[in-house]
C-alpha cells in the first residue's frame, strides 16, 4: 500500500536542478558582463563554481549570506567589481544561493545582470516545482510497480471470496425484492379495491334511491294493472254470457235478452273506460319495461365497479366508461350540477377499464363535493395525435394554490375527518401513471378546477396485453 509519508520527502537543489541546466545559462550571463558564477548551498558552502575561485571573494560572500535576515537579493561591492547574489527559494525556504561576479570595469552592467538574476530566480523556482512533481510521480509509479505479486494474489483471493459472498447476497436480495414487489402489488390492488368499495359505499344511498325510483313506479303500475285486470275480468264475464247465443243468427224469443246483455256490456265499457284502459295498459307496460332496463343498467354498472377487474389489460371505449361512471353517480350529481358532455370520436384504448372507471369516479365525486349549491361539470374527450385527452372541468370552489402541489400526495385531504381518506387523487395519479399517461390540474380558488388526463395509445400496456390479455 502507498504510504503518505513518501510524499513528505524533501529534494535538494542538486536533485531538482541538474548541473547541465546551470551550465546552460552561463554563456548567456557572460555575454551580459558576468565574469564568474557560483552556487552556494543553504549551509553556505560552495556547491558549484565557474571561474569563481578567489578565496577572498568566497569568504566575503559567505559572511554576507550568513548575515541575511530574509530571502532578498542584493549586491556586494568589492575593489573594482560587484558581486550579485540571489536566493533560490523552494517551498518557502532558500535551497541555494546563486552568485554572479561582474567583470572588471563592467559595473555599468550591474542593473542588467540584476534583472537577469531575478529572471533566473523565477526560472529555477518554476523548474524545481515542475521537476519535483515529475520525481514524485515517478516515485509513486515505482511504489505501485514494486507491490509484491504475493500481496496481489492474496488480495485477489480475498476479492474472489468477497465476490462470492456478495453474489450469494445479491441472489437472496433479488428473491426478497421479488417477493416484496409481489406483496406491494397485491396490497396496492387491495387498496385500490378497498377505496373503490368505500366510494361505492358512500354512494350506496344514492344508488338505492336510483333503484327505488323505477321500483316505485313499477309497483304503482302493477297496482293499476291489477285494477284494470278486475275491470276487464267483469267485462269478459259479460261477454261470456253471449256464448250460448252464438249458435245462430236469430234465436226466437231471445232477442230481448241478447239486447239487454249488450246494453250491460256497453255500460260496463263506459264505466271502466275501456278505450283508456287499452291505451294505458300499453303505456304502463312500456314504462315498466324502461324501469326494469334502468335497474338492470344500474346493477350491471355497480357490479362492474365492485368487481376487482382483470389482471391483464383489454380494449375499451373510454366514452362508454365515462357514461357508466355517470350512471353510477347520477343521483349524486343531478341535485348539484348540470353535466355538459362533449365526446369526440375515440379509438379503443388498451387499458384496465375498471381502474379508469375508478379514476373518473374519484374526479367526478371531488367535482360534485366542490360545488356548494348548483354548478356545471363539463366532460370533453378528444383524440389528438397518439393520445386520448380527457378533460373534467367544474365550477366549484377550486383548490388553493398552496395545496395544488400536494393534492396527489397519499392521505392528503382538506375534507373533514371521516369524509375523506386522502387516497382518491393519489389513486388517480398512480393509475394514470401505470397506463403511461399524465395527470395535469389547473385551478383558481373560487372559480373551479380542471383535470386533464393524457392517455397514450401506444402505452407499455399494449406489449403486456399481447402476452397476457386481449390487447
Q: Is residue 181 scored above 60 in pLDDT?
A: yes
DSSP codes of every residue in 125-177:
HHHHHHHHHHHHHHHHHHHHHTS-HHHHHHHHHHHHHHHHHHHHHHHHHHHHH
451-470 pLDDT per residue, tens: 999 999 987 776 554 555 56
Place of cell 385527452: 389
The more confident residue out of 451 and 145 is 451
Residue-level pLDDT at 24: 84
pLDDT of the residue at 383 = 95
When pLDDT is averaged across residues 430-450 and rounded to a whole number, the result is: 91
Residues 120-148 have a mean pLDDT of 73
Residue-level length of the chain: 471
Whether 6 has a pLDDT exceeding 60, the answer reads: no
Confidence band of 310 (pLDDT split at 50, 70, 90): low
Nearest to residue 116, comparing CAs of 6, 28, 44, 202? Answer: 28
pLDDT score recorded for residue 114: 86
Place of cell 385551478: 443
Cell triple for residue 323?
357514461
**Among 61-75, 320-334, 373-387, which is the least confidently predicted range?**
61-75
| Confidence check: pLDDT of 391 > 90 | yes
Q: What is the pLDDT of residue 27?
A: 87
What is the Cα gyration radius of the chain? 53
Least confident of 66-70, 176-180, 202-206, 249-253: 249-253
More confident: 311 or 31: 31
Q: Residue 80's CB: how many other CB atoms inside 10 A? A: 11
pLDDT of residue 5: 38
Distance CA 355, CA 233 (A): 54
Per-residue confidence band for 3, with pLDDT thresholds at 50, 70 and 90: very low
Contacts of 423 (CB under 8 A, 6+ apart): 191, 195, 410, 411
Q: Cβ neighbours of residue 297 under 8 Å, at least 6 residues apart?
A: 327
**Span 242-255, pLDDT tens digits:** 777 766 555 555 67
Q: In the chain, how many H helices and how many E strands?
A: 14, 12
- Comparing 434 with 188, the larger pLDDT belongs to 434
- Residue in the structure block whose three cell numbers are 547574489: 85
First-to-final CA distance of the chain:
61
pLDDT at 26 over 50: yes
- Residue-level pLDDT at 1: 31
Q: Which residue has better confidence, 184 or 28?
A: 28
Q: Identify the pLDDT of residue 405.
A: 78
Per-residue pLDDT at 340? 95
- Indicate if the pLDDT at residue 128 is higher than 80: yes
Q: Which residue has the higher pLDDT, 206 or 182?
A: 182
Q: Is 53's pLDDT higher than 70?
A: no
**CB contact at 8 A, 389 and 454:** yes
Can you give the pLDDT at residue 8?
A: 41
pLDDT-derived band at 442, boundaries 50, 70, 90: very high
Could you tell me the pLDDT band of residue 313, with boundaries at 50, 70 and 90? confident
Q: What is the 3-state secondary structure (H, E, C) of 226-256?
A: HHHHHHHHHHHHHHHCCHHHHHCCCCCCCHH
**Residue 418, pLDDT above cutoff 50:** no
Mean pLDDT value across the chain: 80
Helix (H, G, I), strand (E, B) or coil at 192: helix
* Segment 224-275, tens digit of pLDDT: 899 999 989 988 888 888 777 766 555 555 677 788 888 888 888 888 888 8
Amino acid at each position: 500500500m502507498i504510504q503518505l509519508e513518501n510524499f513528505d520527502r524533501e529534494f535538494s537543489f542538486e536533485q531538482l536542478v541538474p548541473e547541465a541546466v546551470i551550465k546552460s545559462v552561463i554563456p548567456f550571463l557572460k555575454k551580459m558582463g558576468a565574469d564568474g558564477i557560483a552556487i552556494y548551498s543553504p549551509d553556505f558552502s560552495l556547491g558549484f563554481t565557474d571561474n569563481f575561485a578567489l578565496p577572498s571573494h568566497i569568504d566575503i560572500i559567505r559572511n554576507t549570506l550568513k548575515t541575511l535576515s530574509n530571502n532578498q537579493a542584493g549586491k556586494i561591492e568589492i575593489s573594482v567589481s560587484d558581486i550579485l547574489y540571489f536566493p533560490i527559494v523552494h517551498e518557502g525556504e532558500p535551497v541555494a544561493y546563486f552568485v554572479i561576479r561582474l567583470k572588471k570595469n563592467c559595473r555599468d552592467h550591474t542593473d542588467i545582470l540584476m534583472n537577469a538574476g531575478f529572471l533566473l530566480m523565477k526560472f529555477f523556482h518554476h523548474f524545481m516545482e515542475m521537476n519535483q512533481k515529475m520525481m514524485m510521480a515517478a516515485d509513486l509509479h515505482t511504489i505501485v510497480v514494486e507491490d509484491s505479486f504475493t500481496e496481489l494474489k492474496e488480495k485477489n483471493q480475498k476479492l474472489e471470496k468477497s465476490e462470492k459472498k456478495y453474489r450469494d447476497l445479491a441472489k437472496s436480495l433479488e428473491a426478497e425484492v421479488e417477493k416484496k414487489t409481489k406483496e406491494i402489488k397485491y396490497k396496492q390492488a387491495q387498496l385500490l379495491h378497498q377505496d373503490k368499495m368505500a366510494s361505492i359505499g358512500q354512494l350506496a344511498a344514492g344508488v338505492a334511491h336510483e333503484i327505488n325510483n323505477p321500483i316505485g313506479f313499477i309497483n304503482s303500475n302493477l297496482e293499476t294493472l291489477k285494477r284494470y285486470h278486475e275491470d276487464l275480468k267483469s267485462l269478459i264475464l259479460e261477454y261470456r254470457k253471449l256464448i250460448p247465443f252464438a249458435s245462430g243468427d236469430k234465436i226466437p224469443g231471445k232477442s230481448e235478452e241478447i239486447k239487454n246483455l249488450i246494453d250491460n256490456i256497453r255500460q260496463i265499457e263506459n264505466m271502466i273506460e275501456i278505450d283508456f284502459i287499452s291505451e294505458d295498459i300499453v303505456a304502463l307496460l312500456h314504462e315498466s319495461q324502461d324501469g326494469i332496463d334502468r335497474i338492470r343498467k344500474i346493477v350491471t354498472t355497480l357490479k362492474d365497479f365492485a368487481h376487482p377487474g382483470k389482471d391483464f389489460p383489454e380494449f375499451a371505449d373510454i366514452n362508454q366508461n365515462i357514461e357508466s361512471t355517470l350512471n353510477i353517480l347520477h343521483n349524486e350529481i343531478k341535485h348539484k350540477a348540470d353535466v355538459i358532455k362533449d365526446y369526440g370520436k375515440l379509438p379503443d384504448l388498451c387499458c384496465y377499464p375498471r381502474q379508469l372507471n375508478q379514476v373518473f369516479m374519484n374526479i367526478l365525486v371531488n367535482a360534485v363535493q366542490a360545488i356548494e349549491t348548483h354548478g356545471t361539470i363539463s366532460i370533453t374527450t378528444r383524440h389528438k395525435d397518439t393520445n386520448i385527452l380527457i378533460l373534467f372541468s367544474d365550477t366549484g370552489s377550486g383548490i388553493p394554490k398552496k395545496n395544488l402541489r400536494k393534492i396527489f400526495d397519499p392521505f392528503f385531504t382538506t375534507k373533514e375527518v371521516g369524509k375523506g381518506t386522502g387516497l382518491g387523487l393519489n389513486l388517480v395519479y398512480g393509475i394514470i401513471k401505470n397506463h403511461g399517461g399524465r395527470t395535469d390540474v389547473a385551478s383558481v380558488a373560487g372559480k373551479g378546477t380542471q383535470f386533464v388526463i393524457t392517455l397514450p395509445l401506444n402505452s407499455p400496456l399494449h406489449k403486456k396485453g399481447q402476452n397476457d390479455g386481449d390487447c
